[in-house]
Chain A
Amino acid sequence: MISARHLTKKYGDHTALDNLTLDIQPGEIFCLLGQNGAGKTTTINCFLGFTQPSSGQAWIHGEDVVQAPVTTKKHLAYLPEVVMLYPNLSGIENLEYFSRLAGFRYERGELLAFLEAAGLNEQIGQRRLSTYSKGMRQKIGIAIAMAKKAKALFLDEPTSGLDPKASNDFSTLLKELAKEGVAVLMATHDIFRAREVATRIGIMREGKLVSVHQGDALTANELEKIYLETV
């Protein structure tokens, strides 16, 4: 579902992403760990077509992201680290707007169901986003991503700033999506969370994918040890 071959991005002398080859199958959750600047966000940007790779290729659902920038986006949903959305619209209005742009026209009941699944009730959904906390905005972002019913999900540090309960709910949600056959690529700093949800965990350093581990083969402590040795 999500594939990369020798994906490389250079900014002058600096190599932000170095020869990344990766395949994520439907139902798989792949977590990218690494320090800031290790190349996690650059990887996601390449898949989203926001960054043009210097060399190599990236595919979503078998389509090249550079050649088909609009059609590949039909198959993907994206949740950035910071979700601002439109402060003078309500949660429901934000969700409806982004869904319509993606080509989905939902009834109010369906919109509320997505909010419910993301962990927000109707009362909150009717409030303007300017009254929301960061975690609540993040949940609207999750609802927007879910409402797109995408086959590939890209998450850039989605749990940063969420409280432990919300973070845990999010993990549960992610696993459910994976069960339905969604391929997930998630960049994160949260080793514990990665260990819990990931099918596979990749550790990046200076643009390179240094090692890949099976999520259920390691304890959190072992993973942390490997991570610290790598970076």
Chain B
Amino acid sequence: MKAIIIARQELRSIFRERRFQAAAAILSILFALSVFGAWDYYASNEKQHAEAARTARAHWDNQEDKNPHSAAHYGTFVFKPVYPLSFFDRGIDAFTGNTLFLEGHVMHEAKHRAVADRSELSRLGALTPAFVLGILFPLFIIVLGFGSIASERESGNLRILLAQGLRPADLFFGKTLGLGVVVLSLALPFLLLGGLGLAAPGAGAEDWQRYGLMSAGYLIYLGCFIHLTLIVSAFAQRANVALVALLGIWIAMCLISPKAVADFAAWSHPTPSWQAYQEALQYDLKNGVDGHDPSAEYSKKLEEETLKKHGVSTVDSLPFNWDGFIMQKGEEHETYVFQKHKDALLAIYQQQQNLLEASALLSPYLLVNLSSQRLAGTDVHTFHNFLAAAEKYRVALVGELNNDLMLNFKYGDWDGKRDKAFFASNKKFEYRGPAFREVWQISRPAMALLFGWYLLSGLLGLFVFQRIKPI
């Protein structure tokens, strides 16, 4: 009960303050801008991607008549889908690239990274709702709450409060509740506004589930900052000391820790240089089947074995087109080699990622960032999921083409052609991204840790308040 009386007083006091009015106005403008800007980004990206995907497929369907294996060289493009929630949190989207060229023999890297087109300044981060909630809101909490206890101590009010018979726990819960309601009074309208942005592009039920969890994550995160602010304010002898200490914590947790942790992960689990990676890759590619170079050692061996198996002496006597067969064997080897090297690289990334997740415990910002990106579908996991699906599609498409060459064309008939009807019937890239269940599964640990942070910081707050010194 006393806690509610304190919370009401805290609210009344904060709402009457100029500091609150100014901070709330600035935050509201920034949030509105961020939703608008992010919405614009999403809408244009979504349109571009949908169009580009249609165009790429149209190019494939309407390509000139050609030999199926030539079509494998002609290649096609696939695009990472733009998820409705990417407007809220762009995550690593700008850095990963979203376009992939698929062709025979080669596994390409994703291209068209948005950062490549931007000025250096934009690398500081875009003004997204995630940025406002994750970086600016904690600052808002600090500005409103740094004096919550320290100022009361300085003014001597804390002495009177405690002399009135107030329990320290009531003081803590009251202050937490008061600040919490102030934060909710701003965050809830913002989250509703963000919901409107989500409603517009016709998001599905899964997107709303994701958004609900993201919102909950941000609110828990802000709760952590309320606890931290009160703890520091209770410790500090003077309000200005509390302010400086809290700003230091904010800089360390929100600005430095993401970079420091990423740098540390890269340092402790270094990835090979581009040259080293390519050299190793090329070495393995050379020492295997080369569909275009029948004289290659491994190809010779394969030829002998195949002839023996079918009991014939020349490749043109085989019951199928040797060219198609050897192309597909080469393709399988190349895919194997690319995949092997890619997997080794991914294993290193995974180690870095594990380290990153372990060290996310250091800062609730890292935790909310991780879970938010994952729920928005703009994280590393979703990106690799797309790459894997695209590669699977590439293998299937090239396999389809080589198979056609092998079964339906005569040996040496490189002039034989397929027309539009055939190409239009080829497999389509139908990718919808990881299902909600999978997304939730990988977001859950970070969310759970975030909640743990909230509980532990609350317990620490209670502990500190029990020992609060009014003088």
A78–B156 CB distance below 8 A: no
User: Which residues of chain B have C-beta atoms less than 8 A from A97's C-beta?
Assistant: 5, 9
Given contacts A97-B5, A97-B9, contact A80 B165 (CB under 8 A): no
A141–B165 CB distance below 8 A: no
User: Which residues of chain B have C-beta atoms less than 8 A from A51's C-beta?
Assistant: 471
- Asked if B276 CB lies within 8 Å of chain A CBs, one says no
B-contact bits for A64-101, CB 8 A (1 contact / 0 none): 00000011011011101111111011000100011011
Among residues 160 to 181 in chain B, which have CB atoms less than 8 Å away from a CB atom of chain A? 160-167
User: Which residues of chain A have C-beta atoms less than 8 A from B5's C-beta?
Assistant: 97, 100-101
B157–A50 CB distance below 8 A: no
A86–B471 CB distance below 8 A: no
Q: Which residue of chain A lies nearest to B161 when distances are taken between CB atoms in the complex?
A: A101
Where chain B touches its partner, the secondary structure class is helix
How far is A93 from B12 in the complex, measured between Cα atoms in Å? 11
- Asked if A144 CB lies within 8 Å of chain B CBs, one says yes
A78–B165 CB distance below 8 A: no
A-contact bits for B1-42, CB 8 A (1 contact / 0 none): 010011001001100110000000000000000000000000
A83–B156 CB distance below 8 A: yes
User: Which residues of chain B have C-beta atoms less than 8 A from A154's C-beta?
Assistant: 163
How far is A71 from B16 in the complex, measured between Cα atoms in Å? 34
A78–B160 CB distance below 8 A: yes
- In the assembled complex, the CB of A44 is this many whole angstroms from the nearest CB of chain B, namely 10
User: Which residues of chain B have C-beta atoms less than 8 A from A74's C-beta?
Assistant: 165
A77–B163 CB distance below 8 A: yes
- Asked if B470 CB lies within 8 Å of chain A CBs, one says yes
How far is A84 from B160 in the complex, measured between Cα atoms in Å? 10
A82–B156 CB distance below 8 A: yes
User: Which residues of chain A have C-beta atoms less than 8 A from B17's C-beta?
Assistant: 88
User: Which residues of chain A have C-beta atoms less than 8 A from B16's C-beta?
Assistant: 88
Q: Which residue of chain A lies nearest to B155 when distances are taken between CB atoms in the complex?
A: A84
Q: Which residue of chain A lies nearest to B468 when distances are taken between CB atoms in the complex?
A: A50
Given contacts A86-B13, A89-B13, A98-B160, contact A103 B165 (CB under 8 A): yes
For chain B, give the interface size range: 20 to 34
How far is A70 from B163 in the complex, measured between Cα atoms in Å? 9
Choice from B2, B6, B155, B163 contacting A48 with Cβ under 8 Å: B163
How far is A49 from B159 in the complex, measured between Cα atoms in Å? 10
A48–B162 CB distance below 8 A: yes
- Asked if B384 CB lies within 8 Å of chain A CBs, one says no
How far is A77 from B167 in the complex, measured between Cα atoms in Å? 16
B6–A101 CB distance below 8 A: yes
- In the assembled complex, the CB of B6 is this many whole angstroms from the nearest CB of chain A, namely 7
User: Which residues of chain B have C-beta atoms less than 8 A from A49's C-beta?
Assistant: 162
- Asked if A102 CB lies within 8 Å of chain B CBs, one says yes
- In the assembled complex, the CB of B276 is this many whole angstroms from the nearest CB of chain A, namely 64
A102–B165 CB distance below 8 A: yes
Among residues 129 to 173 in chain A, which have CB atoms less than 8 Å away from a CB atom of chain B? 141, 144, 148, 154
- Asked if A45 CB lies within 8 Å of chain B CBs, one says yes
A80–B164 CB distance below 8 A: no
User: Which residues of chain B have C-beta atoms less than 8 A from A77's C-beta?
Assistant: 163
B: residues with CB less than 8 A from A are 2, 5-6, 9, 12-13, 16-17, 155-157, 159-167, 469-471
7 interchain pairs, CB-CB under 8 A: A49-B162, A73-B163, A78-B160, A85-B157, A98-B160, A101-B5, A101-B161
A-B pairs with the 10 shortest C-beta distances? A84-B155, A73-B165, A78-B163, A102-B164, A88-B16, A101-B164, A80-B156, A100-B5, A50-B470, A97-B9
